[in-house]
Structure 1
Amino acid sequence: MNRDLNRRRLLSLFGGGAVWGSVASLPMGTTAWAEDLESLYVPDAVDRAVERGIDALLRYQNEDGSIADRGRATAMTSLAIMAFASVGVVAGEDSPRGRALDRAIEYVLRPRNQSDGYFGRQDGSRMYGHGITTLMLTEVLGMGSSVQQNERIHDALDAAIKLILKSQAVNKPTNLQGGWRYTPDARDSDLSVSVWQVMALRSAKNDGLDVPVESIDKAVAYLENSYTSPLDDRGVPRESMGGFAYTPGTRHPSFTMTSAGLLAMQTCGRYDSPLVTGASKWLLEHPPRNNDRFFFYGMYYYAQGMHQVGGESADTATRLTAELLLRLQTRAGHWVSYEGEERNIGIVYATTLAILSLGVRYHYLPIYQR
């Protein structure tokens, strides 16, 4: 984590306490002040891992500002931007990280990367990439390096949100309505694609952008159809513990989809839903393993969703997220998957999702906040 930011956190933690009193008695700017603060700064294993991960991402920034190693440059760069922002890096600040973040945002905002509002065509990332990039833009809106950059973020975001809403309105079978699939005009839906659009819409609404309440309600209805335990007339699951499936009608939950559905429900504001309670119970009974399908993808949702549940769920997820991800970090500081489908997606993909999973504790990204 950025050392200056960690110091500010220490000051807030010790405000009014005995340690703060002893430090505050020292004149500002003196060597003694700096040495006393330095003695308080003891980075833990997660902070060190995140620092090394961010440094690894810097090494993958290309001349054009993109941060990608295996294609899908707009989507991967957007994930990297969120990873930087999640640990408090500010675009344009006079540091290697600040300058790298500014260049990355500029890359995403290139006109050729967005076609009629759509970010998923140019780099082949489809609606996955569109949702990721739109979410990123909502998270950095107002945090650009200049007024002009913020205006361009807003304009790109406005068009991107309109495309998400238009795509949701495509005529589909009843149980698939409210969700999204691989392309803007798709007539079916799946949870994996839908969760990114849901997060983008909710974050955009938090930014004050025009997102109809009906679109969130439709997304919730789709999520309810994706829950593996049937709901009664009151919307209560027949079973107290359940998960989410890739598509409605499937009764076999998975770690990744249950984590995604949990976070999506919370993102829609349904924190007290019995589906949230049931999914968190299921995840406590079925903890993540590094050979789960789409492990890094699932950990991103798991860390956020369980953190927002709180209590035993948050404590368990915090411990397991650190144990699993720190064990998998390479000596070079990055993460990479050697399992299943994720092994072909690349180092930037795995590293950004690992940082975002571990970065829940820092609370810098608005989407992390309840």
Structure 2
Amino acid sequence: MRSILSLLLFATALPLAAQDLPRRPDDPIPPQVDAMYERGLAYLGKTQNARGSWDDSMGGEPGVVALCVVSFLAHGEDPNHGPYAKNISKGIDYLLSQQNSTNGYIGNSMYNHGFSTLALAEAYGCVDNPKIAPALQKCVELILSAQKRNNSKAWRYTPDSTDADTTVSGCQLVALYAARNAGLPVPDDALKNGLAYMARCRGSDGGYGYTSAGGPKPTLTAIGVLCLSLAKDKEGKGYQASVEYLRKNLNFRDRHYPYYFEYYMSQALFHAEPDTWNDWNARNIRYLATIQSRDGSWPGNKGQSFNTAGALLSLALNYRFLPIYEK
């Protein structure tokens, strides 16, 4: 662990390397996407409570608040002066309020912590809040310390877990890559060890299982493909096999966590193959357009804030504002 002095020096120097949101590319945005996205953001904006969270079944979970915050940023909303600036600010403040001041842990699960780390990393450098940098540093340190204690050099539900799975591990890897993009130091060995665990859960057909190579699922495979894409490791046979596995499952819909699947599937295919992503994107737009509610939310049993954030983020690759979406 760093000394108190080095932490203070790091927190002071960090803004110099902060990231800026890139401009919207020249690629035209499908009008239907714009309409759907704006309605979804309007729903999230008007239903956010005074604390910065949401009042539905999962809306108080920091990980859900984090995804809602990222939904705003992914649309290129001005986080300091735009129409949703207060929503973004309240969401960030809520995440910061949920962080343990001693060890940096946010929430009560590594899902919450990982998505919160991602949100802080994407907000860092574009949201005017000096508390983000030291909080993000603590988040990264907790992820790294949890990995060191883990028998698989990966992650599961809590920082003290000794076993691992691909969903939690993938979440932490994406968070670490986002933090590295933001300018924070992330050891290469931590990323390599996490990716090695993910590879051990990949079968010969390219599909990823939950805690082993058995029982592969498209959702888990999308997470694995995204992690390899962020690692810039697309040349191996394993990556190509996994992309082919996803290509064969373009019509798949996860019955239990549909928006979680779409969130990862969209990113995985975007990084993998333009033509396949274009095909998936067109299908996803049509599907989400048919089920979006009148109030702009998306239905499901996980809470409208989570459903809506997941649906929006599966559409956000059409905008490509966030650094994590850069190829």
Q: d(CA) in 2 for partners of 1:82 and 1:332? A: 20
The amino acid that maps onto 1:133 is S
The amino acid that maps onto 2:212 is P
The amino acid that maps onto 2:266 is A
Structure 2 residue aligned with 1:294, among 251, 257, 271? Answer: 257
Q: d(CA) in 1 for partners of 2:82 and 2:275? A: 41
The amino acid that maps onto 2:321 is Y
Q: How does 1:31-42 map to 2 (within 5 A)?
A: none
Q: d(CA) in 1 for partners of 2:254 and 2:261? A: 11
Matched, 1:44 2:31: yes
- Checking the alignment, whether the CA contact within 8 Å between 2:181 and 2:324 is kept in structure 1 is no
The amino acid that maps onto 2:206 is G
Q: Which residue is equivalent to 1:59? A: 46
Q: Deviations over 1:246-279 (max 9, x none)?
A: 11141x2112111111111112221223222111
Q: How does 1:260-275 map to 2 (within 5 A)?
A: 260-275=223-238
Runs (4 or more) in structure 1 with deviation over 4 Å come to 111-115
The amino acid that maps onto 1:298 is F
Q: Which residue is equivalent to 1:102? A: 89
Q: Deviations over 1:186-211 (max 9, x none)?
A: 01000111111001111111222121
Post-superposition offset of 1:107: 2.0
- Checking the alignment, whether the CA contact within 8 Å between 1:168 and 1:179 is kept in structure 2 is yes
- Checking the alignment, whether the CA contact within 8 Å between 2:24 and 2:320 is kept in structure 1 is no
Q: Which residue is equivalent to 1:195? A: 170
Q: How does 1:275-354 map to 2 (within 5 A)?
A: 275-337=238-300, 343=301, 345-354=302-311
Change (3 A) 1:114 1:317: farther
- Checking the alignment, whether the CA contact within 8 Å between 1:83 and 1:352 is kept in structure 2 is yes
Post-superposition offset of 1:171: 4.1
Q: d(CA) in 2 for partners of 1:283 and 1:52? A: 29
RMSD: 2.0
Post-superposition offset of 1:141: 0.5
Change (3 A) 1:66 1:368: same
Structure 2: tracts of 5 or more residues without a match:
1-22
Q: d(CA) in 2 for partners of 1:168 and 1:178? A: 5
After TM superposition, the score normalised by the length of structure 2 is: 0.87
Q: d(CA) in 2 for partners of 1:42 and 1:166? A: 41
Structure (1 or 2) with the larger CA radius of gyration: 1
Change (3 A) 1:314 1:360: same
Q: Deviations over 1:150-193 (max 9, x none)?
A: x2101001111000001111141xxxx13210000101000111
- Checking the alignment, whether the CA contact within 8 Å between 1:113 and 1:119 is kept in structure 2 is yes
Higher relative contact order (CA 8 A, sep 6+): 2
SS of 2:310 mapped into structure 1 = helix
Change (3 A) 1:111 1:321: closer
After TM superposition, the score normalised by the length of structure 1 is: 0.77
- Checking the alignment, whether the CA contact within 8 Å between 2:155 and 2:168 is kept in structure 1 is yes
Change (3 A) 1:113 1:89: farther
SS of 1:363 mapped into structure 2 = coil
Q: d(CA) in 2 for partners of 1:326 and 1:94? A: 26
Q: d(CA) in 2 for partners of 1:289 and 1:249? A: 20
Structure 1 residue aligned with 2:64, among 62, 68, 76? Answer: 76
Change (3 A) 1:112 1:181: closer
Structure 1: tracts of 5 or more residues without a match:
1-7, 14-40, 230-240, 338-342
Change (3 A) 1:352 1:213: same
- Checking the alignment, whether the CA contact within 8 Å between 1:67 and 1:104 is kept in structure 2 is no
Q: How does 1:248-263 map to 2 (within 5 A)?
A: 248-250=212-214, 252-263=215-226
Structure 1 residue aligned with 2:81, among 80, 93, 97? Answer: 93
SS of 1:69 mapped into structure 2 = coil
Q: Which residue is equivalent to 1:18? A: none
- Checking the alignment, whether the CA contact within 8 Å between 1:119 and 1:133 is kept in structure 2 is yes
- Checking the alignment, whether the CA contact within 8 Å between 1:74 and 1:113 is kept in structure 2 is no
Q: How does 1:219-238 map to 2 (within 5 A)?
A: 219-229=194-204
Q: d(CA) in 2 for partners of 1:115 and 1:327? A: 46
- Checking the alignment, whether the CA contact within 8 Å between 2:99 and 2:107 is kept in structure 1 is no
- Checking the alignment, whether the CA contact within 8 Å between 1:81 and 1:136 is kept in structure 2 is yes
The amino acid that maps onto 2:89 is D
Q: d(CA) in 2 for partners of 1:360 and 1:42? A: 10
Count of aligned residue pairs for this structure pair: 304
Matched, 1:242 2:221: no
SS of 2:131 mapped into structure 1 = helix
Change (3 A) 1:362 1:178: same
Q: Deviations over 1:45-97 (max 9, x none)?
A: 111111100001112210122235224432221111000000011222152x1
- Checking the alignment, whether the CA contact within 8 Å between 1:289 and 1:295 is kept in structure 2 is no
